[in-house]
Amino acid sequence: MLGEGIIKGMAETARNFLGSYVSDERLTTVQYPEERIPQTENARQFPFLVHDGEDWHKGLRCVACQICEKECPPKCIYIEKSKDKKPDYVGKPQFYPAVFDIDLAVCMSCQICVEVCPFDAIKMNIEYELSTADRFGGLLVNKQQLARPNAYFHKIHPTEAAEVDARLAAEKAKANAKAKAAAAAATKTAAAPPATEAATK
């Protein structure tokens, strides 16, 4: 029938309009900024860096591998690797970013940096109220501004954060078991008498 699509669209509009008076689910408009619609878990805006513990600098998961910088389509990530190393979550010495900047004015929120990161160090934030009067430097954020605790990651993306923590805990347990086995083998080797000495006896 001619105009059937228009009639269906008008019916949907009328249902939402009338339903908004009796159902919150049909209410599509809120009085922003006094009211805000809660963000869904899959929402994403711009990246942030995850750190463990209270000290953001010591706890950053990022090891400055620069994969995210290389893979970023708009080239908005700038990383400088440190000269020294610090221990990571399993105690292995790793480099860390001396400089880690993201130009949010250029970032297109594609999430490729998150997908290519092998250390689960960079994730997508849900903050969107980032307007500034400084058009050049206001949206160029450094690693301290990007750093967020793991608790914040759990708050905005609980399902993904739980999966990441479980995987990191398994990797840490595996590394600890390997280190204990190596230490036990070294102790056993040191305690065993030399082969020549045993042969003479």
Biggest CA–CA distance in the chain, Å, is: 106
List of domains in the chain? 47-174 (3.30.70.3270)
Nearest to 60 by CA among 83, 86, 79: 86
Q: How far apart are CA 49 and CA 200, in angstroms?
A: 62
Q: How far is CA 39 from CA 42, 43, 44, in A?
A: 8, 6, 9
Instruction: List pLDDT tens digits, range 91-130.
Output: 788 999 999 999 999 999 999 999 999 999 999 999 988 8
For the entire predicted model, the pTM comes to 0.77
Q: Which residues of 118-142 are buried (b: 16+ CB within 10 A; e: fewer)?
A: ebbbbbbbbeeeeeeeeeeeebbbe
The length of the chain is 201
Instruction: Output the average pLDDT for the chain.
Output: 88
Instruction: List pLDDT tens digits, range 141-167.
Output: 999 999 999 999 999 999 999 999 999
pLDDT of residue 89: 73
For residue 185 the two structure tokens come to 């083998």
